[in-house]
A and B are shown apart, each in its own frame.
Chain A
């Protein structure tokens, strides 16, 4: 079977190399049949990559330890779900997942846009170029189909990966990372074919939104995974690999906003090209960080030979994008100008500047250790205060802009109209601020600002829906007529919930830590935690030790929690121990009582860390609203589709 996997990957490589070379020649020399043939090669590469993926999944399911990849990532006691998820648990499998998603996306995008032949003729070689890199890596640098004499049992999976989120978080992130290739390929295809009209934007609008949604949801699932599994009491640690997914998401967020300005006003053509290229380069950079092991991170499971290849590819992609954009500059000049600094489009522009500035400061923080090591020979890292400073500096104004932007009219707004429109949101913000200070929440300035701004944004979103409903006569009609706008507002509401959750759980959290003997208690934020007993049980692949903690408030029993540790006798690199936290979701404040058994002594002494995190559950609730809002925005609009079909009908005939 390994032979079939290797052959399928070699076939994929051959097909995408053909699609790159023949496709480029066909697009350059205007050869119709050759261009179609290159398209077919790209479609066929998806099938051969699927065959390779099937071979690996089959080997994992059969626990065929003659595959080195299988022997290194699973063992016989690992449950089947995690065994199959080991496909993306290691470097080689992740690369195969990248190629599989890329070739699938590429096949679908080419098929859906096959009528726009002049544009797609150039899109095919760009997509193929990216696929060539990954197929080459899989064939010659990091093959999942290496074989060796089979050991009696495999090394197993890293304990922290043995979590249900392992089944969803990595593939969702990859769906997002890889999805950004499609808008990039269409943007570069538009530049190469000199078709800098809106065709490429229309073709990729939903792709970008879908990739952005996948990235967002993937990160949120990763945050929840870290929260319940890693056992340090937080959900985001500014880890380089977490940042690696956050940066392309920020760049894509900026693009999703600025592309609207191009569609509505014909402005920012150059800026949009830059953002698409930036988002794609950052997605490759993210994969490089995760898979190269170049920066110490809990996500970088191994040092690998991939670093140099990835770095070379990133340099190549950046040089290609910059050169192409520079050569086509005359085609990217805007014909209209910003009419006023107080307008919807100006608000979008400020939002873009803040998002990109935030993205670049994070990039600097991530790259800083690499640069210091290269220049000074010693690794220096930037830590949480650096990122938090920029989160407050850029995040809070962004939050405020989320409320200002929708209220301001397009083109220009007079001071009189602004005063009238902002009256209600401003009043909501002031009242919220005063009430919070009165109730003693002024202890954290960022927290207070976040809540005050949130009240402003919430009022502005509610006002938008109310005014729109009044104007159209029905909420459903309002949303149906402009799904993108009102879907976007729902996403804004999700971001708002997220911001409230983050502010509450970080600025106003309470942390207590102490050693307890059986029968002893500790108090934290109104709760009393009593250590009752300690027990151990054998699970499928670990020994689980759990402390029993009674949680009470005001003398009344609330719940019983069981923090502890799992000991995995079989794990990569030898036996490992993981923290198993226990959480009580308090419906009163939408927060959590979060218990960590930091240390358990042989005599039964428990060093318990307790965190009370108000409003933290709003972060996870925001995820559902985020997906719902994205779906509303993505949902096809029959009227718009008819308009676009009419617009490009003659173009299709000509093409």
Chain B
């Protein structure tokens, strides 16, 4: 019984120390704010997802065409809009990428 209680007490102390660890490691941090993606970052993520979806759709279409699921006529009708969508997503991402690279290069 006593041993059990000692083990329980040690466990509790260790748990409290572990839970308090972020405060013990950084007693006075420069910023305690939990970062979250801003509007720009959210928009970037949307565009990246859109780009990935468009590229994946193109890949699927190519594969469906090669395996005979999509006829030549269907392929021709579908591939144009998909390429335009992928290009639009890539283009929309381009200036942001440049801006980010610029930001990284420029001294603070």
Contacts and interface: CB of A to CB of B under 8 A. Distances in A.
A118 interface: yes
Q: Could you say which of B1, B56, B63 has the most chain A C-beta atoms within 10 Å of its C-beta?
A: B63
User: Interface residues of B: mostly helix, strand, loop or mixed?
Assistant: helix
B48 interface: yes
Nearest to A38: B19
A197 B49 contact: yes
Given A197-B46, A647-B52, A411 B78 contact: yes
A412 B74 contact: yes
Interface stretch (A23-31, A237-245, A593-601): A23-31
B68 A420 contact: yes
A31 B33 CA distance: 5
A340 to B, nearest CB: 10
Interface in B2-60: 4-5, 7-8, 11-12, 14-15, 18-23, 26, 29, 31-38, 41-42, 44-46, 48-50, 52-53, 56-57, 60
Contacts of B71: 414, 416-417, 420
Contacts, number: 159
Interface residues on A, range: 35 or more
B37 A651 contact: yes
Contacts of A33: 22-23, 26, 29, 32
Given A35-B34, A410-B61, A654-B35, A417 B53 contact: no
Contacts of B20: 37
A118 B19 contact: no
A37 B23 contact: yes
A330 to B, nearest CB: 14
Interface in A399-442: 407-414, 416-417, 420-421
B69 A407 contact: yes
A467 to B, nearest CB: 4
B70 A409 contact: yes
Given A197-B46, A650-B100, A4 B22 contact: no
Given A15-B15, A37-B22, 17 more contacts: A3-B4, A4-B7, A7-B11, A30-B34, A44-B15, A48-B15, A117-B35, A195-B37, A409-B61, A411-B61, A417-B74, A647-B48, A650-B44, A654-B35, A654-B38, A654-B41, A655-B37
Interface of A: 1-4, 7-8, 11, 15, 18, 26-27, 30-37, 40-41, 43-44, 47-48, 51, 117-118, 121, 193, 195, 197-199, 263-266, 407-414, 416-417, 420-421, 464, 467-468, 470-471, 643, 647-648, 650-651, 654-655
6 contacts: A30-B33, A417-B74, A421-B69, A647-B49, A654-B35, A655-B35
Interface of B: 1, 4-5, 7-8, 11-12, 14-15, 18-23, 26, 29, 31-38, 41-42, 44-46, 48-50, 52-53, 56-57, 60-61, 63-64, 66-71, 73-74, 78, 100
